[in-house]
Structure 1
Amino acid sequence: MHADLSPVIAATAQWLTRSFPASGGALASALCEVQARQAVTVAAWLRYPTAMDAALLGMAGPGGSARLDWVTGADAALDDDTDAHAWRTWVDEVVASWAAGLLTDPELAALAVAALADGSHSTGGHAEFRRLLAPDDRDREAAALLRHPDLLAPVAGLHRSQLLDRLNQGRTLIA
């Protein structure tokens, strides 16, 4: 039984970077991956705030990328070799949707990182999520597709209301 979220974080970040790849060479790919991983980590920690939540996810499984692939049109490009895409079963649709929202909305990302103080996962603070919260020009250029609000809107919109509910527990709803 898994008590950590690393398989879900890795698979979901990989799905995001394959669906919205970096523009540029190896450095751009690395910068894009770091931004995706930071957004997915924040989203996963919000979605599964306790070790028990993570353990239940490990038992039940996250659901896979099928709907996300359909929403982005990637399902038509997938081949029939299921072994080559076994990692896709560890993609969490809600985490991907929340991460997409964080990547395209800096205010939402800041609220999400601040909300981690209430959970048991966070070990640091804003510094560990710098590329998500305060991307520099090189980060933005590398992740132009990954941070493009229009491109990510179909994914971010899937579970945006749940993310807002999670961030607004006991507060006035943000839009």
Structure 2
Amino acid sequence: MQADLSPVIAATAQWLTRAFPASGGALASALCEVQARQAATVAAWLRYPTEMDAALVGVAGPGGSARLDWVTGADASPGDEVDAHAWRTWVDEVVASWAASLLTDPELAALAVAALAEGSHSAGTSAEFRRLIAPDDSDQRAAALLRHPDLLAPVADLHRSQLLARLHPGRTLIA
């Protein structure tokens, strides 16, 4: 049984970089992808904090990108080949929403990375998330669309309240 979240992380990061692509050449694309992958990793580890959670999502599947595509206007065309987009079935809507929230709020990202110590995924690893929590100027330029709060708001707002509840348990949220 698959107990890691790598398919969910990879597919969600790919969805983020396709929906909000890098501005620039190959280096910008790589920097944008790293930031999306770090955000998706933190979000997935928070969403599925135990090996059992990860195993269950591996069995049940994460749900796919259909609603995200609709929200961002990136619906598939009728002529699109289904097999070419099979990776979209591994996109997790909540993970994408949480990742979008982290990408647009450095303080929230730092809080989320600190919260990873509670889960079993980061135990024994030295995962670094510098490009997520402290992006430099080249990171910011490369991921201008990926980090733009107004552009990501429709995705981030889908499940932001759940992320805040996860990071601040027992705290009443006022909207």
TMscore range, shorter length: over 0.9
Letter in 2 for 1:161: S
Distance in 2, matches of 1:148 and 1:23, equals: 12
1:124 Cα offset (Å):
2.3
1:2 aligns to what SS in structure 2?
Answer: coil
Alignment of 1:13-52 (within 5 A): 13-52=13-52
- CA pair 79-43 structure 1, distance change in 2 beyond 3 A: farther
Structure 1 range deviating more: 73-82 or 43-52: 73-82
Preserved CA contact (<8 Å) 2:104 2:149: yes
Letter in 2 for 1:99: A
Matched, 1:111 2:97: no
Runs of 4+ with >2 A deviation: 76-80, 170-175
Letter in 2 for 1:151: L
Tell me the percent identity: 87
Aligned residue number for residue 124 of structure 1: 126
Q: Could you state the TM-score of these two structures normalised by the residue count of structure 2?
A: 0.95
Aligned residue number for residue 6 of structure 1: 6
Distance in 2, matches of 1:66 and 1:35, equals: 23
- Gaps of at least 5 residues in structure 1 are none
Q: How many residues align?
A: 173
1:77 Cα offset (Å):
4.6
Q: Could you state the TM-score of these two structures normalised by the residue count of structure 1?
A: 0.95
Distance in 1, matches of 2:71 and 2:159, equals: 13
Distance in 1, matches of 2:78 and 2:24, equals: 24
Aligned residue number for residue 66 of structure 2: 66
Distance in 1, matches of 2:53 and 2:69, equals: 25
